[in-house]
Structure 1
Amino acid sequence: MMQKYVPENENLTHYLFFTGKGGVGKTTTASATAVQLADDGNQVMLVSTDPASNLQDVFETELTNKPKSIKNISGLYVANFDPVVAANEYRESVIGPYRNVLPEAALKNMAEQLSGSCTVEIASFNEFSNFLTSPEIAKRFDYIIFDTAPTGHALRMLQLPSAWSDYLDKNDRGASCLGQLAGMGEKKATYAKAVETLNNPDLTTLMLVTRPQRASFIEAARASRELADMGMKHQQVIVNGTLLTHNDEASQAIFEQQQADLANLPHLLQNYPMSEVPLRAYNVTGLDKIRLLLKTKQPDIQSVEVYDYQYPTLDKIVADLVATDKKIIFTMGKGGVGKTTVAVQITKKLVAQNKTVHLATTDPADHLNFFKTADPAITISHIDEKRVLKDYQDEVMENARATMNSDDVDYVAEDLRSPCTQEIAVFRAFANIVAQDDSDVVVIDTAPTGHTLLLLDSTQSYAKEVNRSAGGVPQSIVDLLPRLQDPDQTEIVMVTLPETTPVYESMRLNDDLNRAHMAHTWWVVNQSMLATQTTNPFLQARAQNELEWIEKVKDISNNHFAVEQWQPNFEDKLLKI
C-alpha cells in the first residue's frame, strides 16, 4: 500500500517541477503543496508555465507573470505566465534601447524580426529561466514550484535550455528569430545555468503526477524516460485520485480498474519513490479546499437522492455535423478532458454514417498514437516532429543552394538550426493536414487549450516565418485561416468535464474563439459521474457537484451540448491500448 503524499515528509529540493498528462491534477497538487509549505512557515513561489493555466481559478484571484502574494497565506507568491505579455515585454527589451538611436526603418525591421511565432516561445522561456536561475529569487524563497503544461509541451520547454545553449555555441552570425541584437552572450550563460540547475539532484526534483490509470502511467513513464535522458534523473511519482471506498457497481469498477493498473505499473516508475493523493468528494477550488486536499482528516459525506437525468449524447452532435456537411472538425479543451477519445468517437460515428475520415492530432503528446484500426474508411496521421523538422530543413536548404551564394546558404543553414524551426515545421505539417482532400472529413485532436490558441492565433506570423526561411508560402498556409474561419466548412467541438476549472477554461476558450471568428457551436461534457446514477455516497457527492456545471454548459451553449457517461478505463477501451 502506498503512503499518503505529505509534502513535509518528502525531503523536497529547492526547485520542484510538477508535470504529467493533462487532467491528472498537476495544478491542484502543486498548489496544495505550495500552500502547505507556506503554512509551515516557508517562503514559497508557485509559477505556472502553462498557457492554459488555471491557477487563477484555484486561488480565485487575477494573476500575471509577476509574483503576487496570496491573501491569507503568509509567505506564498504566485505567478502565471502570459505568453503574449511576455512576448511584448521581450520585444520591447530588445528594441527599446535603440529608439532614437537607429533610423525608424531599422526599428521597424527589428520589430518585424521579433514578431515571428517563436518570439512567444522564447519570451515565455526567458521568464521561466529567470525564475530558475535568478540568485535573488533563489535566495528569497525556500521553495520554487513550477506547475507545467501537459507532458508534451513540458518536455519541449525543459528541452529548450540545452537546445538554445547548443544553438548559441554554434551560431556566429546572430541569425534566427532571436533577433540580431538580442544579447547572445548573456542568454548563453543563462541557459547554461538553467541546464545545470535542472540536472542537479540536490536542487531540482521532477514530480511526476499521474492518475491511477494505465494511459496516465504510460505517459508518466514516457516523460520520465525522456527527462532522465536529458539529465533530470531526480524524480518521484504522485498517484492522484485513488478511490478508497467501493460499494456499488460504479465504485467497484473504478476500484478494480485502479488496482489492476497499479499492479501493472511500468517498471520504470517502480524505480522512484511513490505516494498517493486519495480521490476527494469535492472540486479543489478555493483556498479552503486547497488546504484540505492533503489533510488526513476529511469532512463527512452525506448520502443524497439519486435522480435519473436525461441528457443528449454525442449522437446528437454527430447528426448535426453530418446534416451540415462539415469538412473540418476540431476537438478542443483543457488537457485531460478527453479530446482524443471524443475525436475517436466522432470519427467512428461519422464512418457509421458512410463518411470517410482523416483523423489527426496537433498534440506533441500524441495520445492518438494508441488508436489502432483496420477500417479502410479511416486514415490516421501523426505529426512526427523530428521527421517533419528534417524534411523542412532539407527542403529549405535545397532551395537555398539553388538560388543563393555560399555565404547566404551558410546563413540559412545556421538559421535552420534554431529551435524555433521545429515550431515552424510542425505548423506547416498542421496546415497540410487541414488542406488534405483524401477524405470527406478531417477530424483533428488538438493540443491543450493554451497551445492550440497560440497556434491558431499565430497563423499569420507563422506564414511570415515560413516565407522568411523558405522563401515562399505554401498554398496550404495561405488558405488555412480563411478555411478555419468558414462556418460552412469548420466546426470546433468544445470538450470539458463537469467540474469548475475545465468549464471555466472552456468559457475562456469560447471567448477567444469568438474573437478569432471561428465556429464553435457544440459542447461535450465528458466522463459524467452523474449519468451513471451511482449509489456510492462518495461518488454521489462528486456527481451532485457536476449538476451545476452541466447546467452552466447547457446555458452557455444555448442547448447545443451533449453529456457522455463516465466509464472505467474509458480511454484504454476506446483507443484499444
Structure 2
Amino acid sequence: MALPKITTRYAFFTGKGGVGKTSLSCATGLALAEAGKRVLIVSTDPASNLDEVLGTGLSQTPTPVQGVAGLFALNIDPEAAAQVYRERMVGPYRGILPNAAIASMEEQFSGACTVEIAAFDEFAKLLGDAAATAAFDHVLFDTAPTGHTLRLLTLPSAWSGFIASSTGGASCLGPLAGLEAQKTLYAATVSHLSDPEMTNVVLVSRPERAALREAERTRSELADLGVSNLRLALNGLFTAAAPGDAIADAMGARGADAIATMPAALAALPRTETPFLPKGTVGLEGLRAMSHPNAVLVPEVASPTPLALPADLDSLVSDLAAAGHGVILTMGKGGVGKTTIAAAIAVALAGRGLRVTLSTTDPAAHVADAVAEAVPGLTVTRIDPEREVARYRDEVLAKAGSGLDESGRAMLEEDLRSPCTEEIAVFRAFARTVDEGRDQFVVLDTAPTGHTILLLDAAEAYHREVLRTQADMPDAVRSLLPRLRDPAFTRALIVTLAEATPVHEAERLQQDLARAGIAPFAWIINQSLLASGTTDPVLARRGQYERPFIERVVAELAPRTVLIPWRA
C-alpha cells in the first residue's frame, strides 16, 4: 500500500522537514475524499505550502479544494490568530481602563509566545471541540517539522500546567482569566491526542538515516506523552532500473541500508511505502500518482539543450573566507540540506586555517551528526533550550528577585515558569552566538523558515520582555539586528532544492528577509540530479524536471547561485 490507512477521525502527519508530510497528507486526504468521505486537511505549519500543493487558495476557514468533492483545507495563520487572540483579551477593557493601561496590555501580547498560544488556540478548537469539525469524517493535520510539532503536542499539558500552578493574576500572556476559560477545551485536546480510537499519528520519513533517527525520537517522545496509535510512512523509496549507474546504485543502496538499520521499535510499527516519483507532487495529478505509483509512466529523456550550470561551493567559500570573520546563516525550508551545507562550509573554512564555530538554533538539531570527526580549528555547539532556560531564570532571580519580599519573589518565579521563557532564553543564546563572529567565523544552521523569521522578529519585542522581568539587556542582544543587517558582518545563504515548493518557499523567505532589512549573499541549490550526470531513466527524468527551477533562480531570484550535485 502506497498511502497510510486512516481509520480514526483525526490523524497527524509528522516528521523531519522535507520528508513529504504535506504531499502525503494531501494525497491521503484526496484518496479518502475520492472514496466518498468528507475530509478536512489542516496545516499548523507557520511556513505552510498547503495552498500550492492542493492548487487552491486557502484561508483560516475550511475552503473546498477545486475539482474534488468532499475535500476541504485550511491554514492556521499564527500571526492572524495572534491578532484575534490579542483583541479578545484586550478588547473588553477598551473604554474602561486608561489608554496607558491598554497600551501596556497590548505590549504584553506582542511577544512570540502570544503567537504560539494563539495558534494553539485555533488548533485546540479543531481537535478539542468536536462541534467545530462535525461536518467532516476525517480531519488530517499536516504539521510543522518535528521540533515545532512536539512543542505543539506538549503545549496542552504545558499551558494547562501553567494555568493550574499560577496563583497571580497575570502572566506574560496577560490576565490568566483568559486562559482559564480555555481550560476545558485544552483538557479535551489532551484527551483526544492520546485516544487511539480517535487519533492516528503517521510518522513520515525518507529512507535516510537522519530522517529515520528523527522519526524514532518522535516515536519515543510521543509514547511518553501517551500517544500510542502510531504508524510509519516511508516516502520516496528508490530502486534502480538496472545496475551500473553510480548515482542510482548509491541512492538505492543508501535507502536499503537506512531501512535495514532503523531502530527496532520504529521497524515494529505498521508501515506503508511510497516510491520515488519522476515528477514533483504538486497539484492533484501529482498527488494521485502517490496513490497509484505503478501507473506513472517514465518517458524517455530526449537530449536536452545543454544548461550552463552555476558554480560549485568552493568559489563561494573562497569569497566568504576573504572577510576573515563574521556570521554565515544557512536558511531555507526544512529538508533542503541546510545542516549539511552549514557543516560543509564550516569544515572548508577551518581547512583554510580559520577559526570557526558551527552551531544551530534548530530545536531538532542534527548539526553534530553532520561532522563525522574532529577538525582542527572547528568547534561544534548547539543552543540547548533547557540549559538556556535555567541560565536565564537564575540570572533574573539573582537580579530582580533579590530586592523582593517572599510574595513578590513567588510571583516572579511563577512568571518564569511560563512557556515563553524558553523563547526569550533561546533568543539570548542566539544573540550571544552571533556576537562571537566579531573575531572568528560563526556558521549558524538555522531552524526552518517560519521559526527563523519568528526568531528574528523577536528582536523587536525583546525590550518589552526585559522591562517586564527587569532582566538586563546584554550588549549582544542590543547589537543583534544591526549585525544581521550588516552585509559585511552577516552573510545569509538561502538553501533550496530545484523543485517547485522549496523554490517558492525560498522566494518567500527572501521577501521576509528583505522586510527585516537583510539581503541574502547567495542562493545554494542542493542535491541536483540534473548536475549529477545520472543516466537512470527515473532519475534523469527527475533531473529534467529541475531545469526551469534552476533557470529561474539564476535569472530572476538570486544575487549569485551555487549548484551542488547529488553525490554518490
TM-score above 0.5, yes or no: yes
State the AA in 1 paired with 2:67.
N
Equivalent position of 1:496 in the other structure: 496
Note if 1:536 corresponds to 2:531: no
1:266 to 263, 268, 272: 263
Q: 3-state DSSP class of the match of 1:436? A: helix
The C-alpha deviation readout for 1:342-386, integer Å capped at 9, x for no partner, is: 001111121223221111100000111313442231112111111
Going from structure 1 to structure 2, the CA distance change for 1:416 and 1:297 (only over 3 Å counts) comes to same
Using the TM superposition, give the Cα deviation of residue 193 of structure 1 relative to its aligned residue in structure 2, in angstroms: 1.2
Percentage identity across aligned positions? 44
Using the TM superposition, give the Cα deviation of residue 437 of structure 1 relative to its aligned residue in structure 2, in angstroms: 5.2
Give the distance between the partners of 2:55 and 2:179, measured in 1 at CA.
Answer: 39
Give the distance between the partners of 1:141 and 1:304, measured in 2 at CA.
Answer: 43
Give the distance between the partners of 1:49 and 1:266, measured in 2 at CA.
Answer: 28
What is the RMSD of the two structures over their aligned residues, measured on CA atoms? Answer: 1.6
Equivalent position of 1:374 in the other structure: 374
Give the distance between the partners of 2:382 and 2:177, measured in 1 at CA.
Answer: 35
Unaligned runs of 5+ in 2: none
Give the distance between the partners of 2:563 and 2:473, measured in 1 at CA.
Answer: 42
Give the distance between the partners of 1:513 and 1:332, measured in 2 at CA.
Answer: 10
State the AA in 2 paired with 1:282.
K
Using the TM superposition, give the Cα deviation of residue 559 of structure 1 relative to its aligned residue in structure 2, in angstroms: 5.7
Using the TM superposition, give the Cα deviation of residue 432 of structure 1 relative to its aligned residue in structure 2, in angstroms: 0.9
Equivalent position of 1:386 in the other structure: 386
Using the TM superposition, give the Cα deviation of residue 449 of structure 1 relative to its aligned residue in structure 2, in angstroms: 0.6
State the AA in 1 paired with 2:75.
N
The C-alpha deviation readout for 1:506-560, integer Å capped at 9, x for no partner, is: 0001111111111302000000001112111111110000011111110134561
2:203 to 202, 205, 208: 208
For the Cα contact (< 8 Å) 1:117–1:462, is it kept in 2? no
Give the distance between the partners of 2:514 and 2:133, measured in 1 at CA.
Answer: 41
Using the TM superposition, give the Cα deviation of residue 133 of structure 1 relative to its aligned residue in structure 2, in angstroms: 1.1
State the AA in 1 paired with 2:499.
E
The C-alpha deviation readout for 1:402-453, integer Å capped at 9, x for no partner, is: 1222221111111011111111111111111111258511110000011101
- Say which is worse superposed, 352-361 or 492-501, in terms of deviation: 352-361
Going from structure 1 to structure 2, the CA distance change for 1:117 and 1:300 (only over 3 Å counts) comes to closer
For the Cα contact (< 8 Å) 2:6–2:200, is it kept in 1? no
State the AA in 2 paired with 1:126.
D
Q: 3-state DSSP class of the match of 1:526? A: strand
Equivalent position of 1:572 in the other structure: none
1:177 to 172, 178, 187: 172
Give the distance between the partners of 1:460 and 1:212, measured in 2 at CA.
Answer: 41
Equivalent position of 1:17 in the other structure: 12
Q: 3-state DSSP class of the match of 1:493? A: strand
Equivalent position of 1:332 in the other structure: 331
For the Cα contact (< 8 Å) 1:174–1:184, is it kept in 2? no
Give the distance between the partners of 1:315 and 1:341, measured in 2 at CA.
Answer: 15
1:109 to 85, 104, 111: 104
Note if 1:42 corresponds to 2:41: no
- Say which is worse superposed, 186-195 or 18-27, in terms of deviation: 186-195
The C-alpha deviation readout for 1:384-408, integer Å capped at 9, x for no partner, is: 1111111211221222331222221
Equivalent position of 1:345 in the other structure: 344
The C-alpha deviation readout for 1:61-93, integer Å capped at 9, x for no partner, is: 322222211111111111112221111111111
Give the distance between the partners of 1:163 and 1:273, measured in 2 at CA.
Answer: 30
Q: 3-state DSSP class of the match of 2:472? A: coil
For the Cα contact (< 8 Å) 2:3–2:24, is it kept in 1? no
Note if 1:137 corresponds to 2:132: yes
For the Cα contact (< 8 Å) 1:522–1:557, is it kept in 2? no
Going from structure 1 to structure 2, the CA distance change for 1:330 and 1:12 (only over 3 Å counts) comes to same
For the Cα contact (< 8 Å) 1:210–1:240, is it kept in 2? yes
Give the distance between the partners of 2:120 and 2:463, measured in 1 at CA.
Answer: 22
For the Cα contact (< 8 Å) 1:467–1:473, is it kept in 2? no
What's the TM-score once normalised by structure 2's chain length?
0.96
Give the distance between the partners of 1:237 and 1:67, measured in 2 at CA.
Answer: 28
Equivalent position of 1:404 in the other structure: 404
Equivalent position of 1:253 in the other structure: 250
Give the distance between the partners of 1:271 and 1:470, measured in 2 at CA.
Answer: 51
Give the distance between the partners of 1:431 and 1:174, measured in 2 at CA.
Answer: 32
Using the TM superposition, give the Cα deviation of residue 187 of structure 1 relative to its aligned residue in structure 2, in angstroms: 1.8
Give the distance between the partners of 1:502 and 1:27, measured in 2 at CA.
Answer: 12
Equivalent position of 1:413 in the other structure: 413
Give the distance between the partners of 2:383 and 2:420, measured in 1 at CA.
Answer: 16
Give the distance between the partners of 2:451 and 2:401, measured in 1 at CA.
Answer: 34
Q: 3-state DSSP class of the match of 2:418? A: coil
